[in-house]
Amino acid sequence: MKDEKFQAGFVSIVGKPNVGKSTLMNRLIGSRLSITTPKPQTTRKNITGILSNDNYQIVFIDTPGFLKPRYLLQEKMIESINESLKDTDVIMIICDASFFPTDYDKKVIELCKKFKGKILLVMNKVDLVSQEKIKEIHQNISNLPGEIFLTSCKLGKGIDDLRKYLIDNLPLHPPYYPIDNIATQNVRFFVQEIIREKIFLYLEQELPYSSAVSIEIFDETKDEVNILANIFVESRSQKKIIIGKNGSMIKKIRKASEKAATEFMQKKVRMELWVKIRKNWKKKERILKEFGY
Ligand SMILES: Nc1nc2c(ncn2[C@@H]2O[C@H](COP(=O)(O)OP(=O)(O)OP(=O)(O)O)[C@@H](O)[C@H]2O)c(=O)[nH]1
Ligand SMILES: [Mg+2]
3-state secondary structure 24-93: HHHHHHCCCCCCCCCCCCCCCCCEEEEEECCCEEEEEEECCCCCCCCCHHHHHHHHHHHHHHHCCCEEEE
**Backbone φ, ψ for residue 260 (5° rounding):** -65, -40
pLDDT score, position 69: 63
CATH number at 102 reads: 3.40.50.300
> What distance in angstroms lies between residue 40's CA and the mean position of ligand 1's atoms?
9
Residues 141 and 194 in one domain: no
State the CATH number of the domain containing residue 207: 3.30.300.20
Q: Are residues 160 and 191 in the same domain?
A: no
What's the CA-to-centroid distance between 183 and ligand 1, angstroms?
A: 20
Q: Judge whether 180 lies within some domain.
A: no
Which residue, 121, 136, 168, sits at the end of a domain? 168
Going by alpha carbons, the residue nearest to atom 13 of ligand 1 is: 20
Query: 128 CB less than 6 Å from ligand 1?
Result: yes
Q: Is 147 in the same domain as 225?
A: no
Q: Cβ(88) to ligand 1 under 6 A? A: no
Query: Which residues have C-beta within 8 Å of that of residue 199, sequence separation ≥ 6?
Result: 207, 208, 211, 213, 231, 242, 253
Task: Count up the domains in the chain and report the number.
Answer: 2
The rounded distance, in Å, linking the Cα atoms of 21 and 24 is 5
User: Which of 27, 36, 105, 209 gets mutated to test ligand 1 (max ligand atoms within 8 A of its CB)?
Assistant: 36
Task: Give yes or no for residue 178 CB within 6 A of ligand 1.
Answer: no
Q: Which ligand is nearest to the CA of 104?
A: 1
Residue 142 lies in a domain: yes
Q: Is residue 76 part of a domain?
A: yes
Pair 137, 242 in one domain: no
Q: What pLDDT sits at residue 66?
A: 65
In a domain, 177, yes or no: no
Mark whether 31 and 150 lie in a shared domain: yes
Instruction: Using the mean position of ligand 2's atoms as its centre, give its distance from the Cα of residue 13 in Å.
Output: 9
- Which residues are bridge partners to 57 per DSSP? 8, 52
Cα-to-centroid distance, 64 and ligand 1 (Å)? 12
pLDDT at residue 150, as a whole number: 96
How far away, in angstroms, is 249 Cα from ligand 1 center? 24
Query: 276 - beta bridge partners?
Result: 232
- Calpha distance 220→151 (Å, rounded): 39
Shared domain check, 147 and 254? no
Residue 260 domain flag = yes
Q: Does 181 map to a domain?
A: no
Please list the pLDDT of the chain residue by residue as tens digits (293 residues).
456 799 999 999 999 999 999 999 999 999 999 999 999 989 999 899 999 999 999 999 999 886 666 677 777 777 777 777 778 999 999 999 999 998 888 888 887 777 888 999 999 999 999 999 999 988 888 777 789 999 999 999 999 999 999 999 999 999 999 999 999 999 999 999 999 999 999 999 999 999 999 999 999 999 999 999 999 999 999 999 999 999 999 999 999 999 999 999 999 999 999 999 999 999 998 889 888 88
Domain co-membership, 131 together with 208: no
Q: Check whether residue 27 and residue 159 sit in a common domain.
A: yes
- Does residue 174 form part of some domain? no
The closest ligand to the CA of 158 turns out to be 1
**Residues 12 and 129 grouped into a single domain:** yes
How far, in Å, CA of 37 to CA of 54, rounded?
A: 33
Per-residue confidence (pLDDT) for residue 206, from 0 to 100: 93
Same domain, 132 and 88: yes
- Would you state the pLDDT for residue 154? 97
Contact present, 76 and 45 (Cβ < 8 Å):
yes
User: Of 104, 139, 168, which closes a domain?
Assistant: 168
What's the domain range around 12?
A: 2-168
Closest ligand relative to 36 C-alpha:
1
Please give the pLDDT value at position 67: 64
Q: Are 93 and 233 in the same domain?
A: no
Q: Which pTM was predicted?
A: 0.94
Same domain, 153 and 201: no
Let me know if residue 176 belongs to a domain. Answer: no
Pocket test for ligand 1, best of 66, 153, 157, 196 (most atoms within 8 A of CB): 153
